[in-house]
Structure 1
Amino acid sequence: MSAFKPELRTVNVTCYVTPLREGGSLPAIAEADDGFLYVLKFRGAGQGPKALIAELIGGEIARLLGFRMPELVFVNLDEAFGRTEPDEEIQDLLKFSVGLNLALHYLQGAITFDPTVTLVDSRLSSQIVWLDALLTNVDRTVRNTNMLMWHKELWLIDHGAALYFHHSMENWEEQAKRPFVQIKDHVLLKKAADMEAVDKDFKAILTPDVINAIVAIIPDEWLTDRSFETEDDQRQVYAQFLNMRIANSDIFVNEAQHARSSLI
């Protein structure tokens, strides 16, 4: 059995610095009691805790596969933080997010990845495309790359829009085996010429034990789907979805290759 066991630190918010008004989720820069700044993702925003689950699973899989990912931490938000905020929208967001949230280490001075400025080689492009096809991540397009350049290196951020199957879990087995047709819009698809080699390498890393270990760290309080009897039942669907998708990766690899053929 794999000895892999991901562990996230838990910090407490000490200062709400500023909102990042991008998209509908209103993440914010916040300072924690360890002295670091974080991009805080709120459980009370947008898609609720499911976006945090996608961020957690996607980020930790990316890290395990060797991508540069800002550290993810669990973040406790005290109810006192919403009381003095003058913006009513933010005040409500803070109020509905009391408890455990998720944050990424803030990469001070990082700039948004621009594919016309920074060239990404075929291998790395294929790796990122494979990851996003696995996770069904719709949010890595030219319009919104969700990648940063920091110290001249490429960093992945924001997987909250991934795993969209969990917004309707009734037919998760069928969804696990579907091709990811939205891959046609991926910002790096044209350069992704090494999908088959990447597929072999990544499948060897993402064993069922590894996937189960990542899913096991989802906090109980984020598992709020009442169609499941227990939190562990809901965790098991995430694990089974991912393991089934990895076992049938030829489906999404073939779809990516087909989509790429129309671009070259």
Structure 2
Amino acid sequence: MNTIEIRTVDVVQYIKPLREGGSLPAIVKADDDFLYVLKFRGAGQGKKVLISELIGGELARAIGLHVPELVFMNLDDSFSKTEPDEEIQDLLKFSVGLNLGLHFLSGAITYDPLVSIADSMTASKVVLLDSMISNIDRTFKNTNLLNWNNELWLIDHGASFYFHHNWERWKNHLTRTFPAIKDHVLLERANHLNDASKEIQRLINKDKIIEIVSKIPKDWLEDESEFLTPDQMRAAYIEFICTKLSKIDSLVKEAEDAR
């Protein structure tokens, strides 16, 4: 298995907000001269969204799906001082430090279930991935998929792992399946769920899951109001994903029944 390397870059230019996103992500330029979609630690549900984005994106990549490169992005306090829009100004102010960026796919178009490309094996992998990470946000209303260079690309896993919004009861989620899969935008095309489950089991194991979770910056896990320590949170993410992987047959059945 390939080792995961996540680069760290500095934001050098704030270009424009993406107002279709509820948390006001933005297109920015980094010191490597590339453009990124920046997800802010100071937005809405904060650092938990960045954690979901990181784990979900790297799991997707590990099972052979296309995901824009994820990078850690340092944001300094100079941007908030020159921003005239008060809402964006506050967002920049509260997001000083380490944020998360996705490589900007110039010319990509939003996935349209009526006309866009998505082969059955890919669709099946995406459906099972989203079942495993409890991603409630890949529906007809909001696909969080792009077509770029005639390939399907996955973006925005921030609504995954919703158990981490209540750490006191997170273990209750270990035995649950994912009924919301019935609303998944790719469910109709997911005709190879059994084959996809075997492929997923071949491509990820506990070591890969530990490696992905280890990439979460400690700073994103620190919160005095939380019930668990950062190390306990890491262990919880690992246990959750490993449990879902071990129960993938029940996720396959649930998705097949929903189809």
| Residue 4 (structure 1) shift | 5.0
**Residue 38 of structure 2 aligns to a residue in which SS?**
strand
Q: Which amino acid aligns with 2:244?
A: R
From 136, 139, 144, give the equivalent of 2:142. 144
Alignment correspondent of 1:230? 229
Take 1:162 and 1:62, find their aligned partners in 2: how far apart are those partners? 12
Alignment correspondent of 1:257? 256
**Residue 26 of structure 1 aligns to a residue in which SS?**
coil
Take 1:256 and 1:186, find their aligned partners in 2: how far apart are those partners? 9
Alignment correspondent of 2:75? 77
RMSD: 1.3
**TM-score, structure 1 length as denominator?**
0.94
Structure-to-structure mapping, 1:106-145, within 5 angstroms? 106-145=104-143
Q: Which amino acid aligns with 1:241?
A: F
Q: What are the Cα deviations for residues 203-262 of structure 1, in whole angstroms up to 9, with x where unaligned?
A: 1222111100100010011003443553222111111111111111223222111111xx
Take 1:196 and 1:225, find their aligned partners in 2: how far apart are those partners? 40
Alignment correspondent of 1:163? 161
- Judged with a 3 Å threshold, the aligned counterparts in structure 2 of structure 1 residues 230 and 170 are, in CA distance, closer, same or farther, namely closer
| Residue 149 (structure 1) shift | 1.0
**Residue 63 of structure 1 aligns to a residue in which SS?**
helix
From 87, 90, 99, give the equivalent of 2:88. 90
| Residue 162 (structure 1) shift | 0.9
Take 1:18 and 1:206, find their aligned partners in 2: how far apart are those partners? 37
Q: Is the 8 A contact 1:177 1:251 kept in 2?
A: no
Take 2:2 and 2:231, find their aligned partners in 1: how far apart are those partners? 19
Take 2:23 and 2:214, find their aligned partners in 1: how far apart are those partners? 25
Take 2:228 and 2:142, find their aligned partners in 1: how far apart are those partners? 37
**Residue 185 of structure 2 aligns to a residue in which SS?**
coil
Q: Is the 8 A contact 1:28 1:40 kept in 2?
A: yes
- Judged with a 3 Å threshold, the aligned counterparts in structure 2 of structure 1 residues 124 and 28 are, in CA distance, closer, same or farther, namely same
**Residue 86 of structure 1 aligns to a residue in which SS?**
coil
Take 2:126 and 2:59, find their aligned partners in 1: how far apart are those partners? 12
Q: Is the 8 A contact 1:5 1:214 kept in 2?
A: no
Q: Is the 8 A contact 2:67 2:153 kept in 1?
A: yes
Take 2:93 and 2:43, find their aligned partners in 1: how far apart are those partners? 11
From 3, 6, 19, give the equivalent of 2:17. 19
Q: Is the 8 A contact 1:178 1:251 kept in 2?
A: no
- Judged with a 3 Å threshold, the aligned counterparts in structure 2 of structure 1 residues 251 and 169 are, in CA distance, closer, same or farther, namely farther
With 212-221 and 241-250 compared, the bigger mean Cα shift is at: 241-250
Q: Is the 8 A contact 2:120 2:191 kept in 1?
A: yes
Moved over 2 A (4+): 169-174, 224-230
Percentage of identical aligned residues: 56
Matched, 1:198 2:200: no
Q: Is the 8 A contact 2:23 2:44 kept in 1?
A: yes
Q: Which amino acid aligns with 2:194?
A: E
With 49-58 and 205-214 compared, the bigger mean Cα shift is at: 205-214
Take 1:71 and 1:158, find their aligned partners in 2: how far apart are those partners? 12
Gaps in structure 2 of 5+ consecutive residues: none
Alignment correspondent of 1:61? 59
Take 1:164 and 1:220, find their aligned partners in 2: how far apart are those partners? 19
Q: Is the 8 A contact 1:78 1:99 kept in 2?
A: yes
Take 1:84 and 1:119, find their aligned partners in 2: how far apart are those partners? 42
**TM-score, structure 2 length as denominator?**
0.96
Take 2:257 and 2:228, find their aligned partners in 1: how far apart are those partners? 40
Q: Is the 8 A contact 1:138 1:161 kept in 2?
A: yes
Take 1:156 and 1:247, find their aligned partners in 2: how far apart are those partners? 24
